[in-house]
Structure 1
Amino acid sequence: MTAYGPSSGPPTSASSDRPSLVIVGAGPRGTGLIERIAANAPELYAGSGLDIHLVDPHQPGAGRIWRQAQSPLLWMNSHAEDVTMFTDETVTMAGPVREGPTLHEWAGIDGRTFADRQLQGAYLSWVHDRAVAALPPEITVHHHPRRALRVGGAHEGRQQVWLEGLARPLLADLVVLALGHLDAELGADQRALTSYAREHGLVHLPPDFTADSDLSALRAGEPVLVRGFGLAFVDLMVLLTEGRGGRYEGDVYVPSGREPVLYVGSRRGVPYHSKIGYDLSGERPPLPRFLGPAEVEALLARPDRFDFRRDVWPLVEKELGFAHYHRLFTAHPERTTVAWTDFEEKYAAADAVEREALVSAAVPDPSDRLDLAALDHPLDGMRYATHEDLQEGLRGYIEDDLRRRHDASHSADLAVFLGLLSVYGQLVRLGDIGPWWHGFFSYLASGPPGPRLRQIPALSRAGVLKFVGADMTVRAEDGVFRASSATVPGHSVEARALVEARLPEPTLGRARDPLLRALHTDGAAETPDGLLRVDPVDGRVLDRAGRPHPRRFALGPFTDGRTPGAFTRPRTGGPAFRQNDATARAALAFLRDLACRAAA
């Protein structure tokens, strides 16, 4: 039986001669790696001893983000049936498939439920325990509930992983960084706002994980400027309304009187699109079609560095359009004027201008056409005469979005969602393509549950939440924070509190994690956007000359191999699973060969 339990120090001298793998981060990504090690070990590592050391101050499986000690009001933003930690036949990988239950199957809940994060944490802990139990008996797992501070050691020799509070390091033949989402030191603009707030007795909450933020300084009835309208905002909204005793009676919000008044704006000025509230029936779009492995290989083979907007985005547009129109023509042919086979042939051969003319002729209703630019900038050029007009206009916009995203007659939207997943799975192989794509994907495909989005108009009608508009600007002047937007010309809002409702940016140079900062200092490569560069084949950490470190790997959102969303939707190919499998196999093969050389 595999031994497993917390460890307060380095391995004993009796075990230090065994091969050793240190995994820093025991949350979902670390758990996924252990699951793949267990799946691949019978083929690649049979009969050899191995110590796996998990380094994480939080509970293995759930980690920090999905820990039990958080409000039950905080939900996942995926249906329970769309959350799995297990591979299936759609994942392209060398290792064996080991299927297991989705969250809803494990918990025995309705698949369309948006589970709270505490329940997801329990699922992750169970998955972790199952993965550890599946390891061969000669592989032993130790949990060290501490933070890792730095990694040292010769390029070709054993690594040393220094832990907080310990005088001696863990010795490791290989190290895998699976750190998950990171905190970051403030940039110059945020430091200036924090300093201004301190000087004038104001409140400034910089980017943070909302569940970790101290919201007690946001006082009842007082205006609070909120910059950001994504998932971090939804968490903030929930904690400051229901979390302070408010309640909903149908579509009416009944305040407790303890809520502040939230003035929210962002670049787009609108919330992320609602999760789609129906299932896809009938034929799925055959993806990938215009952005698949061959196109990615061609981009990677270019002698010059490809440009995302010039070289990649046109392929993305064509792929998403193909998904959209395939569904429209096959599921709703009465809303088109030509046969799908004729349209598809012309669509495949057309450039962007020709496609626009083709769509205009074949799809009479503009609401049935895919306009990605309009989706990305819904308030562009829109002006409201008064602040009150904007409130009414955005309530209508959100309610229209909710209706559409829960109406199967618009099932082409779900096909686009599947197209986005397919595209992201391909783009992962290109490395760092800049932050815009990730934000666009999240806005369209990773928005809040419909019930949460439905609460926003109710809070607006109750006067607890007010919209500021698109391209919201915040000025620190006259002893207050002042926000405005061109959406309502000449109007501004002032407040003594400002909340940045977004996550910290995972950059190497500003990471609060001391281990990553030390790697950066020691020569690990970073992308222009500050992500850790890794080998796309197996996740090995790259140096600034592009050389992979033989004994260090990294997986997760702080790398340029980051994947869409926190979890994988079943039977969608799961690029995170593919990465976990490749890293596990590379690690096991290295350790096997190392053991063979030692025995020779």
Structure 2
Amino acid sequence: MSATGHAPHSAPPPRPLHPPSRAPARPAVVLVGAGPRGTGLIERIAANAPELYGDAPLDLHLVDPYPPGGGRVWRRDQSPLLWMNSTAEDVTMFTDASVELRGPVRPGPSLAEWAARVRAGELSVPGELADAVRGLGPQGFAGRQVQSAYLEWVYEQAVAALPPGVVVHEHRCRAVRVTGPRGGPQQVWLEGAPTPLVADLVVLALGHLDGRPPPEQRDLAAFAARHHLTYLPSDFTADAGLDVLAPGEPVLVRGFGLAFVDLMVLLTEGRGGAYEAGPDGEPVYRPSGKEPVLYVGSRRGVPYHSKIGYTYRGERPPLPRFFGPAQVDELLARPGGYDFRRDVWPLIAKELGHAHYHRLFTAHPERVRTDRAAFEEKYAAAEPLGPGLRALVAAAVPDPADHLDLDALDRPLQGVRFPGADAFQDGLRGYIEADLARRHNPAHSPDLAVFLALLSVYGQLVRLGDHGPWWHGFFSHLASGPPGPRLRQLLALSRAGVVRFLGAGTTVTADPERGVFSATSDSVPDVRVEARALVEARLPQPTVTDTKDALLRGLYDDGAAATGSGLLAVDPGDGRVLDRTGRPHPRRFALGPHTDARASGAFARPRTNAPAFRQNDATARALLRFLRAHAVPEPARCPPG
């Protein structure tokens, strides 16, 4: 055991020294999931323990088959070609003054600041990562292996900050079931272990989970098996078996988000292809000859919008303004409940518009033709999404390019038809080029103000619980797109013929007569593409009803509640798991994307009042208060013999 009480990685999982029906000899918490979310909770336990728990003993059991810190998604054991999706200065695991919490703020370095400390010789990283860290500036996009090293360092700092009475035990295995009465100790059963871990409290920080394919995907898999085709269902791209996709083979790909970007990278550079600078400075792709040909389509038919390539300067929009705590309180108090698209979305749209036009008036006053105060007064009084608001904007902002059109941003190809496949390739390349130009030009800085408003909105939505998949998809399309260099690579792959675009409203069917998969789209209705391989380039849905995770499924079977979207229902105040009567379980908690309190990420952009940090703090305080009130802080004693 190290000086911090942290069990070394090579130590075997400790066995409980007491019958499962009895309380643990020392107060104990089992944390299932040691990735970024679990690490964030440990950091908050360490921060709050001096106030709420003191130096009382505590066993903290971490259960995860993957290394702590990075967990599965951010583990170091993956391709060095895969990048993060945010700039280094926009990634932190530490609270700051913007975070609304009851516990103390414990500042720490962002990924960019951590990398600077490594370069200065204050911290060290494994030798194979040294060059990557040295080349990482604040506006750079780190490889996932570098992010893994940062998360491992954060984990080590969080464990070291725990009071001396806390002993951390790592269990490199899966938890498969949780049992125990509401009023008594909980048992966490580990895969392959004859006896469970016994704890006063259990926290599920499971992260992203594998899911059982929905019925349509199961039908396609069965069709593929009958006709000896290749079908890869929704999965984490880094873990998908891509070797089955043959060089030169046409491959249909459904999904144009971040999972597709990873797929694109692994099947091109990952197979030996390379980029070189062309005459105009744009990348040119040189194939290795081992690539398949990717035919990619989706509902929107376009990739996510590029990450914005400049920083915010000047006055920030005052947020929240039209969708804040007061509006959420009113929605929650409605006797008949609320409908997201009818009641919530108009408020969100008005908030995004407020940020957009505030920035336009303050940073680009030459592009408006009315007084700012008068505009803002009329904007505040206008009905969200109503004709009065549209007329106000049209009168005040002459250039339609300066209007915020959320429908066009969400569905840019809606109603647009192309005469043929080649015309659509040209058209979509033009769309991507225009998006890159706009998202890297500070003249369009209202786009960055809208991004900040999206983060504010996401923070407010946490209190409303599950709001269905549409909002998350819209948010991701607008705010969680790929780095600009990735879209430039996509353009190069398109020009090289390695990637072909299918269009919006892509539909894939199984053709039993020809024994192939067949794809059509609304954008090019007269074109049909056939292939013997199909890849679902999207993550599995994080539902308790279709999860492959035995622990989560067992929890649901035992009475835990699920929302209409299949997410685990939790108390928005502290993350306690709710049963189907709405009762919070006193000893079981859950955090992360499988819950209806899902936040936008386990780590966050600094100074944005990150929802995950607020949730972590509330849950940590609830754990410590319970332990102080109910657990007996006595030293562990082995039974005789």
Normalising by structure 2, what TM-score? Answer: 0.92
2:6 equivalent in structure 1: 4
**Cα deviation digits, residues 449-479 of structure 1 (max 9, x gap):** 0000111111111010000000100011020
Query: Partner residue of 2:121?
Result: none
> 2 CA distance for matches of 1:9 and 1:512?
26
- Paired letter, 1:9: P
Matched residue, 2:214: 187
Q: What whole-Å deviation, never above 9, does each CA across 1:384-408 have from its counterpart, x for those lacking one?
A: 1011000000000000000000000
Equivalent position SS for 1:77: strand
Partner residue in 2 for 1:572: 608
1-side partners of 2:621 and 2:16: how far apart? 24
Unaligned segments of structure 1, at least 5 residues = none
Q: Determine whether 1:537 maps to 2:573.
A: yes
Aligned to 2:280: none
Selected match of 2:33 from 19, 25, 35: 25
Deviation at 1:598, TM superposition (A): 8.8
Whole-angstrom distance in 2 between the partners of 1:595 and 1:202: 57
CA contact (8 A) 1:480 1:495 kept: yes
Q: Cα deviations across residues 37-90 of structure 1 (Å, max 9, x unaligned)?
A: 000000000021100000001111111111111000000000010000000000
Alignment correspondent of 2:113: 105
1:86 counterpart = 2:122: no
Indicate conservation of the 8 Å contact 2:420/2:526, yes or no.
Answer: no
| CA distance in 1 between partners of 2:59 and 2:249 (Å) | 55
Superposed displacement of residue 195, structure 1: 0.9
Tell me which residue corresponds to 2:152: 125
Q: CA deviation at 1:2?
A: 2.7
Which residue type is aligned with residue 497 of structure 2? G
Q: Among residues 506, 514, 517, which one is paired with 2:550 in the alignment?
A: 514
Task: Tell me which moved more, 181-190 or 524-533.
Answer: 181-190
Structure-to-structure mapping, 1:58-207, within 5 angstroms: 58-108=66-116, 109-207=136-234
Do 2:26 and 2:634's aligned partners in 1 also have CA atoms closer than 8 Å? Answer: no
Structure 1 position 353, deviation (Å): 1.6
Aligned to 2:310: 278
Q: Which runs of 5+ in 2 are unaligned?
A: 117-135, 278-282, 636-641
Structure 1: distance between partners of 2:78 and 2:166: 33
Mapped partners of 2:228, 2:172: distance in 1: 38
> C-alpha distance in 1, partners of 2:235/2:33?
19
- Opposite residue 533 of structure 2, the aligned amino acid is A
1:188-337 alignment runs, 5 A limit? 188-250=215-277, 251-337=283-369
CA contact (8 A) 2:361 2:368 kept: yes
**Matched-pair contact (CA < 8 Å) for 1:282–1:331:** yes
Equivalent position amino acid for 1:10 in 2: R
Contact preservation (8 Å) 1:432, 1:527: yes
Give runs of aligned pairs for residues 387-466 of structure 1, distance below 5 A: 387-466=421-500
Contact 1:2 1:138 in 2 (8 A): no
User: For 1:579 and 1:161, how far apart are their aligned partners in 2?
Assistant: 23
TM-score w.r.t. structure 1 length? Answer: 0.98
Q: Aligned pair count?
A: 599
User: 2:602, 2:612 within 8 Å by CA — same for their partners in 1?
Assistant: no
Q: What is the match of residue 126 of structure 2?
A: none
SS of 2:243's equivalent in the other structure is: coil
Cα distance in 1, alignment partners of residues 602 and 516 from structure 2: 37
2:301–2:413: 8 Å Cα contact kept in structure 1?
Answer: yes
1:170-202 CA distances to partner (integer Å, 9 max, x unpaired)?
Answer: 001000000000001122111111111111111
**Does structure 2 retain, via aligned residues, the 8 Å contact 1:234–1:448?**
yes
Q: Distance in 1 between matches of 2:184 and 2:478?
A: 46
**2:553 is the counterpart of 1:548:** no
Q: SS of the residue aligned with 1:140?
A: strand
Amino acid across the alignment from 2:57: G
1:561 aligns with 2:593: no
Tell whether the 8 Å contact from 1:9 to 1:166 is kept in structure 2 after alignment. no
Contact 2:601 / 2:612 at 8 angstroms: preserved in 1?
A: no
Distance in 1 (CA, whole Å) between partners of 2:366 and 2:62 is 57
Within 2, Cα distance between the matches of 1:567 and 1:138?
27
1:50 maps to what in 2? 58
The CA distance in 1 between the partners of 2:264 and 2:94, in whole Å, is 32
How many Å separate the matches in 2 of 1:23 and 1:555? 11
Match of 2:528 in 1: 492
- Do the aligned partners of 1:7 and 1:142 also contact (CA within 8 Å) in 2? no
Residue 629 of structure 2 is matched in structure 1 by: 593
| Alpha-carbon separation, structure 1, partners of 2:303 and 2:102 | 40
Would you identify which runs of 4 or more consecutive aligned residues in structure 1 move more than 6 Å? 596-599
CA distance in structure 2 between the partners assigned to 1:7 and 1:151 by the alignment: 21
Q: Which residue, out of 399, 413, 418, partners 1:365?
A: 399
CA positional deviation for 1:16 = 3.8
Residue 203 of structure 2 aligns to a residue in which SS? strand
